[in-house]
Amino acid sequence: MIAYRLHDVDAPPRWDDLPLPEPGPGEVRVAMRACGLNFADLLMLQGQYQERPDLPATLGLEGAGVVEALGAGVTTPAIGTRVAVFGSGMLASHAVVPAVACLPIPDAMTWPEAAGFQIAYATSHLGLARRANLCPGERLLVTGAAGGVGLTAIEIGKLMGAEVVASARGADKLAICREAGADHVIDADAPDMLEQLRALGGLDVTYDSVGGEAFHSAFRATRPEGRLLLIGFAGGDLPRLAPNHMLVKNISVIGHYMGAYPRFNPQALAGSLGALLEWYRAGRLHPHISHVLPYDQVAEGMDLLRSRRSTGKVVIDLPDGG
């Protein structure tokens, strides 16, 4: 098998030839077909991700493929099942994962769709439904709205009955946000973002993956009992909280990291993914993938994320491991 591995944070990753692994008890081996890239992959390259694996480490946090071998005690998913997988080491021709980490996917779901589905959609669904308790009729701001998680937050916010405001950089990205269902769009570079938000009537919920000034504008435009959901800090600046304003306006700032759910509440994650797949089967979700690249262009895919030239997901097409 081959795997894209990071050996040192000061050196670029490389494709390594490795022995084909055998699944242990409770595990399966998946012949991978595609891997979705995420901003977390960039942080891992720099040694800045909140979970730091021992090196060398195979990159890739989500992917999709076909189950090809079962470990002891495993009966499902059966050999030949098409699955999406969330975990570490997905940027490889084969991956050994716990059987419970495999999500059977609909026949109509393409490999790129399946490879980039779980992190973005589950982050938005768990964040908006479980953590922020978004209610019908509320006004939702999504920052970084043309990115992988941002577009899913627009879709899910609309499905939950919210009025969605999308913030992204440039006319092309704002047009994509409108296509995803945003009711209002604001250029992220606009100097009067706060005034535009207040002119709309303020915010009930903010889904923020950017941080920095975008967070502060959203915070100041938040109505009493509003909620600000912290997804990440792609802008590079951690927001400065004002607890006194949180107090007098009864505002909640909520942290949300989807990657922790397999450890502390796998049932919640499973329920979320089940609901999301039902929405997909019903034609209510439309994954947006801007780039599908061959496996020898992983570095170019990472650069698309780093330079923010992509919209939605960037997916790597893997060698046919089957």
Q: Which helix (H) or strand (E) holds 305?
A: helix 298-306
Q: What's the length of the chain?
A: 322
Q: What is the pLDDT of residue 235?
A: 67
Residues forming a β-bridge with 210:
none
Fold of 2-117+287-317: Quinone Oxidoreductase; Chain A, domain 1 (3.90.180)
pLDDT tens, residue order, the chain (322 aa): 999 999 988 789 999 999 999 999 999 999 999 999 998 888 888 776 666 778 899 999 999 999 999 999 999 999 999 999 998 999 999 999 999 999 999 999 999 999 999 999 999 999 999 999 999 999 999 999 999 999 999 999 999 999 999 999 999 999 999 999 999 999 999 999 999 999 999 999 999 999 888 999 999 999 999 999 999 887 667 778 888 888 989 999 999 999 899 999 999 999 999 999 999 999 999 999 999 999 999 999 999 999 989 999 999 999 875 4
Q: What is the pLDDT of residue 226?
A: 97
Tell me how far apart the alpha carbons of residues 212 and 227 are, in angstroms, rounded to a whole number: 17
Pairing of strands 203-208, 222-230: parallel
Fold of 120-259: Rossmann fold (3.40.50)
Residue reference for tokens 């894209």: 4
CB 33 within 8 A of CB 320: yes
Tell me how far apart the alpha carbons of residues 289 and 301 are, in angstroms, rounded to a whole number: 12
Q: What is the pLDDT of residue 261?
A: 92
Tell me how far apart the alpha carbons of residues 82 and 130 are, in angstroms, rounded to a whole number: 28
The domain segmentation of the chain, as residue ranges, is: 2-117+287-317, 120-259
Cβ-based neighbour number of residue 181 at 10 Å: 17
- The structure's pTM equals 0.93
Tell me how far apart the alpha carbons of residues 152 and 118 are, in angstroms, rounded to a whole number: 11
Q: What is the pLDDT of residue 10?
A: 79
What's the first-to-final CA gap in the chain, in angstroms? 11
Q: What is the pLDDT of residue 318?
A: 96
Specify burial of residue 27 (Cβ count, 10 A radius: 0-12, 13-18, 19+): buried
